[in-house]
Amino acid sequence: MLTVDLDRLRLGRGDTLLDMGCGGGRHAFAAMKRGAKVVALDADAGELKVVQDTVTAMDEAGEIPSGGAGAPVQGDALALPFADAAFDRIIASEVLEHIPDDRGAIAELARVLRPGGRMAVTVPARLPERINWALSTEYHDIPGGHIRIYRQHELEQRLERAGLMLRGSAHAHALHSPYWWIRCAGGVNDSDRLLARRYHDLLVWQIMKNPPVLRWADRALNPLIGKSLILYVEKP
């Protein structure tokens, strides 16, 4: 299940894409299947090993069309190892809330995006995130955890001050918010409690089957409790 809408990002075959803070690689893999040339960057070597193994399996299975490619790269968000204007598209999904110098990271993203290129930035949405923080300090007060909660206009201003123009916004994953409230209320590291397990089963059903009733519920609730805020920006 993707957070970024690749159509709204206008990602096409042959585009160069940086997935900054790629984690397990879900956006990178979807972009490769569209024929994009993807650099999946993360600081975690373990995550990148999983990404590389998946890219290899996708290639062997013929799931990457002609022109598509994937290259995991270990790197620092504050010193991206790429030339200016190196990428047509960038995704930075659920990353900035972890970085103390988020302005520095945004400046680096703007630097490596080509003029006319588009970027999607996602962060935890304010209301669901505030509830998580109120219910559990364990949720965020850990090494590498979330260190800030953004207001939408604050993030928009940071991006605009880096020379980027807002092209749209959205919220996603409303049905995931209650799951994390349940986890935070009962112990964020305890996912074996009955209510958490049953709700997790619902989310698995959504991810695997995405039945109409859950699609409707997610769309209806996203403006209210969507777990992620997505901003789409362009570099003039």
pLDDT digits (tens, 9 = 90+) for 77-100: 999 999 999 999 999 999 999 999
Q: Quick one: which of 163, 30, 14, 162 has its CA closest to 91?
A: 30
Render pLDDT for 60-77 as a digit per residue (tens, 0 to 9): 999 999 999 999 999 999
Kindly state which CATH superfamily the domain 16-125+137-173+225-234 is placed in: Vaccinia Virus protein VP39 (3.40.50.150)
For residue 188, pLDDT over 90 is answered with: no
Contact 110, 86 (CB under 8 A): no
Q: Quick one: which of 3, 1, 8 has its CA closest to 233?
A: 8
Cα(134)–Cα(122) distance, rounded to whole angstroms? 21
The residue count of the chain comes to: 236
Contacts of 86 (CB under 8 A, 6+ apart): 16, 18, 112, 114
First to last CA, the chain: 30
Contact 141, 118 (CB under 8 A): no
For residue 170, pLDDT over 80 is answered with: yes
Residue 18 has φ and ψ, to the nearest 5°, of: -100, 120
The confidence band for 162, taking pLDDT boundaries of 50, 70 and 90, is very high
Please state the pTM of the whole predicted model.
Answer: 0.96
Encoded tokens for 219:
């769309």
For residue 207, pLDDT over 80 is answered with: yes
Encoded tokens for 56:
């290899």
Q: What is the pLDDT of residue 227?
A: 98
* Vertex 106: Cα angle to 168 and 76 (nearest 5): 135
> Pairing state of beta strands 87-93 and 16-20?
parallel
Burial class (CB in 10 A: 0-12, 13-18, 19+), 22: buried
* Vertex 102: Cα angle to 97 and 104 (nearest 5): 160
